[in-house]
Structure 1
Amino acid sequence: MPNTDRMREFLEVARAGSISQAARQLGMPRATLSRRITALEADLAVRLLHRRTTRLVLTSAGKMLEQQASRIVADIDAAWASVRQLDDVPRGLLRVSMTGPYFSKLFTDFLADYPEIQLAVQSTTRHVDLLAEGVDVAMRIGEIKDADLIARKLHSDRLLVVASPAYLDQYGMPSKPSEITKHNCLTAFSDDWLPNKTWPLLSGGSVAISGRLAANEIGLARDAALNGLGLALLPSAAITKELTAGLLVPVLLDTVGKEIPISIVYLDRDYIEPKVRVFVDRAVKVISSEMPKPFKFD
């Protein structure tokens, strides 16, 4: 007989990729959780997990159950939350996915002001699936295309191409976008590990790129550029100190790059839990004023 406890246990294992880690999150013995997952597979007469040496991986049936169970549990949580709205006190575990070094003050003050909220913070540049991964709030860089999300703008930035002076001394400064193809470009990659093959132009369109290093984290690309490995496309707010100190130099500033919004997003539901509402309001207030501003060029 399906029940929400079994769904929550399976979802926690799916998100953690580890029974041990999921058991810690759920506050139960590992052996107990392992038996329950095995019993769930027996009841369904299907394998839900591939048990690898270092991580559990969902089977196709497991992925299907994760998707459906996520929606069911979310609906049940929303129903309970709407009833508890009678006292409207922000409480419970709030899962937050963000990137960047700008949020320590936000978290510290927020926890002090809302003692009944517990925070679980994931630092990643990946676009998480809020529903499937059980995330309440996430930060997004770029346009929001998901109709199931509500977005509040935090601030905007400019993507620009930069390189170290040493790299430019050795390989030369590109004078037009087409010359970028001759350079080693430090690229980003998406969730499927496929590196980006183009960089945007301010006028619209794009220029083809290639390179020997791809990373999905801003700090890695910045450090690689500082070490003279190639050209990098980075948000100016993340490299303000390096630009000011002359450790990184803008390349093709007037032609290559893009203006990007930075937003905080949460699921579009009939009822927004108080813990989500107060966190989003606080984030908009704090981050909008304290996030590093885009670098100003003379």
Structure 2
Amino acid sequence: MTNPVETAELVAFTRTVDARSLSRAAAELRVPRATLSRRLARLEERLGARLLRRSTRSLTLTEVGEVFYRQACIALEAVRLAEQSVRATDDIVRGDLRVSVPPMMSDGFHAMICDFAAHHPELRVHVHTSNQIVDVLHGGYDVALRASSHIQPGLIARTLFRDPMIAVASPAYLADRGVPRTQRDIRNHRCLLGFVRGELPVTHWPLASGGKLSVDGIFFSNEIALLRDAAVRGLGIALLPHNFVAPHLESGALVHVLDGIVGSELQVALVYAERAFLSPQVRLFIDAVATWVRSELAERERTMPGVTPRNGG
């Protein structure tokens, strides 16, 4: 009878996959590289299958390895929660919480994070800000705040709210270049564009009726505040969240153009890996953010009726 897989072997395997490097994984686990290699070899021998393809410069999962990795993560999470249930004889939440959020968050969001950390003093809270769409599945994050119309497979999304994406430009720009009224008109205009997944320049805008419209940019940024400011200063037309530019529409600094022609719906959500067990710290953080968002939306509706995005629950 084959000996059962050891936890140390599962840890060695999953950490190597997450780190994408034997040396880096060994350093994180504080064991010699040779020890880590032996554990991986012993694991593959027990299973009778190749899990990793290794070369001098790369390390990739085999098809069998991808399936085993997902199950190994579930098993280790179950072990961790089992240990936590024994150790936690009180209601205190301990451990680490790794969160990814975009930059330029409001002071209110920062206050909510600080209040959450203060309320759970035994919890180590790691907040990483980045314009890049981080890899929640393999990047070591527990949860990420994401604004996107598409959620990566393998992730669960707790929708906070939905917001229309609209095309906007300044009155000065429109007076100089004319008001676009059809899809074809966009060819005569200067577009302010972001990046797909924070990496590749956007080449298309979504059509309200479905499909895509090819656009040519003259200014690119993965920071929507900069795109908004560029639009306000008359550099061109930008596609931005309605709620984000609502004050500028109210003041007349920006004008909504191509209404009913260009646009889509942005989903603002907390995303986390699909697992059999959700850790207490992740569950508490998700609830805290959702409660804060509901409060913010209610206040915004009170002060600026008609511009609040739809609550996603």
Task: Specify the TM-score bucket, using the shorter chain as the normaliser.
Answer: 0.7 to 0.9
SS of alignment partner, residue 205 of structure 2: strand
How far 1:149 moved relative to its partner?
2.1
Instruction: Tell me which of 223, 243, 260 is aligned to 1:254.
Output: 260
Question: Secondary structure, in 3 states, of the residue corresponding to 2:137?
Answer: helix
CA distance in 1, matches of 2:305, 2:264: 14
Match of 1:193 among 199, 203, 209: 199
How big is the shift at 1:160? 0.6
Contact 1:143/1:261 (8 A) holds in 2: yes
Name the CA distance, whole Å, in 2 between partners of 1:118 and 1:171.
Answer: 53
* Matched residue, 1:96: 99
Residues 270 and 247 (structure 1), Cα distance of their counterparts in 2 relative to 1, 3 Å cut: same
1:143 Cα deviation from its structure 2 partner: 4.0
User: What letter is aligned with 2:76?
Assistant: I
2:117 and 2:234 mapped to 1: Cα distance?
41
Counterpart of 1:236, as a letter, is H
**For 2:249 and 2:138, how far apart are their aligned partners in 1?**
39
CA distance in 2, matches of 1:40, 1:79: 20
Distance 1:80 1:136, change over 3 A: same
Aligned identity (percent) is: 33
1:37-74, Cα deviation, whole Å (9 max, x unpaired): 6996899996666xxxxxxxxx3x2688x979975466
Higher Rg of the two aligned structures: 2
Distance 1:154 1:256, change over 3 A: same
Could you tell me which amino acid in structure 2 is paired with residue 262 of structure 1?
Answer: V
Counterpart for residue 80 of structure 1: 80
Number of the residue aligned with 1:232:
238
What is the aligned residue count?
A: 275
**Structure 1 CA distance for aligned equivalents of residues 288 and 269 of structure 2:** 13
2:144 to 138, 145, 150: 138
Q: Distance in 2 between matches of 1:247 and 1:109?
A: 35
Structure 1 residue 11 displacement after superposition: 7.0
What is the DSSP-based 3-state SS (H/G/I as helix, E as strand, rest coil) of the residue aligned with 2:209? coil
Counterpart amino acid of 1:98?
V
Offset from partner CA, 1:244-276 (integer Å, 9 cap, x none): 222222112233212222111222211111001
> What do you get for the CA RMSD once the two structures are aligned?
3.7
CA distance in 2, matches of 1:212, 1:238: 22
* Matched-pair contact (CA < 8 Å) for 2:92–2:120: no
Of 83-92 and 271-280, deviating more is: 83-92
Change in CA separation of 1:48 and 1:143 when aligned onto 2, cut-off 3 Å: farther
2:162 is aligned with 1:159? no
Distance in 1 of aligned mates of 2:284 and 2:173: 46
State the shift of 1:121 in Å.
1.4
Corresponding residue for residue 271 of structure 2: 265
State the Cα distance separating 1:283 from its structure 2 match.
Answer: 1.0
Q: Distance in 2 between matches of 1:166 and 1:14?
A: 51
Check the 8 A contact 1:185/1:232 in 2, yes or no: yes
Q: Given that residues 137 and 154 in structure 2 are in contact (C-alpha distance below 8 angstroms), is that contact kept between their aligned partners in structure 1?
A: no
Closer, same or farther in 2 for the Cα pair 1:47/1:167, shift >3 Å? same
Structure 2: where are the runs of 5+ without partners? Answer: 1-5, 42-52, 308-313
